[in-house]
Amino acid sequence: MDPLMLSDLASLNDWDAFQPNLKGFMPPQDLELHPDCEDVETQIREFTDSSYMRDNDAPLITSVSVQNLVTTSITIGGEIFTVPLSSRESSYLMSKGDASASRFTVPGDQVQFVNSSSLKFITETRSSVLRKLRVSDILVTDTSLVGLDVFINGEHRLSTGVVDTNHFATLFVILPSLTPADVGAYVMHRGVIADTKLPQDLSQAASAIRIYAGLADARIQIASGGPIVCLTYHILARPNSDPALVPRLANLAGALSPLRDGFCLWRHKLTTTTGAPKLILFFLDGSPTYAGGFAGVDATLLSHLAPLAKAYGFKLLLGRLTHTMYTVQEVDHPYKEYYNDIDINDLSMDDDPKESWKWEPLTTLGGVKVVDGDNLLDLAAEMVKNEERYKEMILEVDLEEGFEEMDEGIYATTVKYTHTRTASVLFIVS
């Protein structure tokens, strides 16, 4: 079940008509929980963490630019060149190839940085790319240089193949050059086209384009300027890395396996055993009222959950909760000076305050109110009141302080001090 394109979230407004891609679907069955996951809900929550989910609109290609470049040197085919490259050096490299060709390629074993400190900008560029992918450097065992290309104006195919079982991405580093160039790149895969642009001034930055290994097609375009010199690196994950932590194309092009397994096992447990949750709640960052209004991490969450929920016979609804904590206290003032302003900073919340929960009516992802015939709001109210995981979630929502004067005494004013938190909640209903 492919995560939805973010631009297609509005299709969820009509949940009954929505038909997910069923690639990777497994019939409900008794599966092992993922290590460190104690139950179905823990597993589904674990793999909807932002560390694992990726936006499905344009994850296929990214670009970065690492500033503060230090001048360095590189040996190409036995000759030393200074980086940033001058236009003369770039043209000279191009002249070493076929005069009728639009690119000149040098094998990786003929390219070498003069000293280890010269590798700094390559390392920083790789780290910057990995941060964009939300991948830790410790998961990468190698970044191997496989070749150098000199490109002149026009469009050129980039290497997209998978060369090793641990090869998950390919990095194209554009060497800094004193010659301005208009450089972009795009990829195509299963009907999806994604593109990126580099800054025109390449003189003081190491710029790079990252694609996932295994894409159907990838091209670099030099609309003007150049030539440019491009290093190709394969990024390899450590052997036996947790597949969920390495963003491979297979994970992006279908359901993340542990997340799919969570829904598969949940549906199995609902039909064969007791104790499976009837409802799972996700507190949202924003306040969307319909599917097309989801943005940021909320949109990413919905794009991953919706296809799996529909495929396994669940439904998604929207709720809105207002949680209020309050305490009543007295604020002293001089004898009969009733009109002293109360400073909210002088008020404090009790360690054991009174609480109230108020739910607005449930709606579909299309914003239509639904009849709560299954008493889902009552169940949700019990969950957020009594389950520790939900108590912690509501306390992470931004609070709004307030107070109201309840009674004026000759020496003190009785005040009701409140902490109010309001959150939109996504319901996954069995």
Domain-by-domain residue ranges, the chain?
6-55+251-429, 61-244
Contact between 233 and 170 under an 8 Å Cβ cutoff? The reply is yes
Q: Is 385 left (phi over 0), alpha (psi -120 to 50) or beta?
A: alpha
What global pTM score does this model have?
Answer: 0.60
Predicted local confidence at residue 335, as pLDDT:
72
Judged on CB neighbours under 10 Å (0-12, 13-18, 19+), 166 is buried
Average pLDDT for runs of 10 along the chain of length 430: 82 93 86 89 87 59 73 84 85 76 86 72 74 68 84 90 88 86 85 78 80 89 88 86 70 70 94 87 94 89 93 96 87 67 77 89 95 91 91 89 75 83 95
Q: Which CATH number fits domain 61-244: 1.10.150, 3.40.630, 1.25.40, 2.60.120?
A: 2.60.120
Q: From the centroid of its chain, how far is CA 272? A: 35
Buried b / exposed e along 12-26 (16+ C-beta atoms within 10 A): bbebeebebeeebbb
CA distance 392 to 413: 33
Between the alpha carbon of residue 427 and those of residues 252, 314, 385, the distances in Å are 24, 10, 16
Predicted local confidence at residue 425, as pLDDT:
96
Predicted local confidence at residue 58, as pLDDT:
44
Predicted local confidence at residue 45, as pLDDT:
92
The H or E element that residue 45 is part of is helix 40-46
